[in-house]
Amino acid sequence: MFFKSLTTCFATMTLCATAAMADDLGKTEYMNACASCHGASGVGDGPLAELMTVTVPSLTTLSANNDGTFPMLEVIQTIDGRQGTRGHGYPMPIWGDRFKASAGDIGPMAAETIVRGKVLSIAYYLESIQE
């Protein structure tokens, strides 16, 4: 019984540490890829926002604008951009292509894994900053 409790405790601690690490990674990716337009707090007030030809949307109200549910799949597809989703305006970079290009020559499967990890980490971070 003691070992079962210890194992459960260890698993819980590992999951908490992994979730915290995922939040940190998502925030880092967001700050590197998104904050220049969407702002550090995600409200659309980044230093490049005033130069855009479209209004840069707040990313903190995605759930509120979707009946209280975070639109995870739509967010992932919008960040990735490779399937044609251009939800909030043309100037949005196609991050899937950019992340893949920055992965270097590691092979297509490994590069795709990196792309999906970065996109998903940003999406989870955005979910965490909803108002």
Total domain count, the chain: 1
Q: Does residue 55 sit within a domain?
A: yes
Range of the domain at 68: 26-128
Token representation of residue 6: 């210890």
Does residue 79 form part of some domain? yes
CA–CA gap between residue 118 and residue 89 (Å, rounded): 21
Give this prediction's pTM: 0.79
Residue range 46-59: mean pLDDT, rounded: 91
Q: Is residue 19 part of a domain?
A: no
Cβ atoms within 10 A of the Cβ of 80, count?
A: 22
For the ranges 8-12, 52-56, 117-121, the lowest mean pLDDT is seen at: 8-12
* Mean pLDDT of the region 62-78: 96
Does the pLDDT at position 107 exceed 60?
A: yes
How far is residue 30's CA from residue 96's CA, in Å, rounded to a whole number? 14
Q: Is residue 21 part of a domain?
A: no
Which two tokens mark 40? 């550090």
Q: Please check whether residue 8 lies inside any domain of the structure.
A: no
Give the residue, 41 or 16, on which the prediction is more confident: 41
Average pLDDT over residues 90-111: 89
Q: Which of 120, 1, 11, 131 lies closest to 61, judged by CA?
A: 131
- Position 84 scores a pLDDT of 72
Segment 8-17, tens digit of pLDDT: 444 444 444 5
Q: Classify residue 11: in a domain, yes or no.
A: no
Assess if residue 75 is contained within a domain: yes
- Average pLDDT of the chain is 84
Let me know if residue 20 belongs to a domain. Answer: no
Average pLDDT of the residues in 50-71: 94
Tallying the residues shown for the chain, one arrives at 131
